Amino acid sequence: MNYKITPPAHRSRLAFDLPLSKSMSNRALLISALTKGGIDDSIRFADCDDTKAMKSGLLKEAEGGHVNVGAAGTAMRFLTAFFASRPGVEVVLDGSERMRKRPIGLLVDALKSIGADITYEMEDGFPPLRIKGGELRGGVVKIPGSVSSQYISALMMIGTTMTDGLTIKLEGKIISLPYILMTAVMMMRAGVNVMFHDRKIEIGHCDYSPVAWTIEGDWSGASYWYELTASGATNGVRLGNLRQESIQGDSAVARYFDQLGVDTSFIEENGESVALLSHTNKLVDSLDIDLTGQPDIAQTIAVTSFLLGVPFNISGLSTLPSKETDRLQALRSELRRLGCNIKVINNEIITWDGKKCTPDVNPRIRTYDDHRMAMAFAPAAVNFPGLIIENVEVVSKSYPEFWNNLAGAGFKLEVVK
């Protein structure tokens, strides 16, 4: 389904709660599954495709057989490690066609080096995987710090099950560090001592303690409302369940958007932290930022900067080519439709010099089965009334209520071919 989007005629003040963080939810689910008593169904986790795939996979442990996570990359990485650590379990872990093209060899190699029994069903280095669970001996694993943090987090969380404990030595540049730290914090909340020093993570053999998890609102999801606020399309936005002192790396979005005309303040209401977003006229002449720790908000920041006419240089994006799509090439293609020619440098940097070209007449934005492409480009309808976003269903991966929230903000969403 495709939407033709028309912005509201009048600005209004918005107020709603964001979806819960899928990053926190997926970690809490895996830790819970490794805890005596298992997953507590009374706890609220994120209600999105990725988290549903994660929970469904964990609950299939006893059944074995075939587990398909669809497009859920986090679930693929976390479940690979989880099933490998479960004695007596045998599964074939698979995903969508795109998932079969997303590499997982470094994680598999690391797991096999400490005793895991994993084989490739099709192409070496890629899903589907046949996993025969067993008692892993643990020891020392070396892995590049430049790999997806999900590989490292997956190893960390099952480290407690290993007879010799686990030491992870990170080699080279460490990317997405905030996600590794999130994993460490959540493990410590469950009673596990995680030592992280000198590029080395140490975890002893121990049991997790049950936790009544409280999942924060999703800071990645907040980025799209920062984008709308920056565009001047609202009279301010009130976002419930967002914490200023958050363990989510994407909370840095508040700092970045301060340079793009959005002020953030926080209040407490009924014991809950609430973020208040307001539009300012304070724009930097150009934006030069490193998103090594927050690559998931790159699309939002790039589109916003273009809409505001702010030239940019955004680095630290080496993981984006292997996401749901090659996000760097997707950004270059779709921004060109709006009159913005960006350069992609070394598959990790995007730049725009501020010069515009002729946009498409009645532009249509392809989403490439990528939820963040849909949500990052939707606010561009403020500058391009009648903008069409294709395959709008993709937002269910992380933010199923996004279109309802956008309609609630006064945007008209018309189904078109």
pLDDT of residue 309: 97
Q: Which residues of 117-131 are buried (b: 16+ CB within 10 A; e: fewer)?
A: ebeeeeeeebbbbeb
pTM of the model: 0.93
What value does the CA radius of gyration of the chain take, rounded to a whole number of Å? 21
Closest CA to 221 of 401, 69, 14, 2: 401
Residues in the chain: 417
Q: How many CA atoms lie within 13 A of 69 on its CB side?
A: 30
Active site annotation includes 296 = yes
Query: Distance between CA 158 and CA 374 in Å, rounded?
Result: 34
Place of tokens 């596990």: 192
Place of tokens 């872990």: 93
pLDDT of residue 97: 94
Domains of the chain plus CATH, in order, are 2-20+217-416 (3.65.10.10), 22-30+49-203 (3.65.10.10)
pLDDT of residue 344: 96
Question: CA dihedral in degrees (18, 20, 22, 24; nearest 10)?
Answer: 130
Place of tokens 């609220």: 44
- Parts of the chain with a pLDDT under 50: none
Closest CA to 234 of 15, 402, 386: 15
Catalytic residue among 49, 50, 94, 296: 296
pLDDT of residue 351: 98
Supply the DSSP symbol for 204: -
Supply the DSSP symbol for 284: -
Read off the amino acid at residue 130: R
pLDDT digits (tens, 9 = 90+) for 173-205: 888 899 999 999 999 999 999 999 989 999 999
Q: Under a CB-based contact definition with an 8 Å cutoff, are residues 85 and 63 in contact? A: no
How are strands ordered across the β-sheet holding 129-132?
A: 65-68, 90-94, 129-132, 117-120
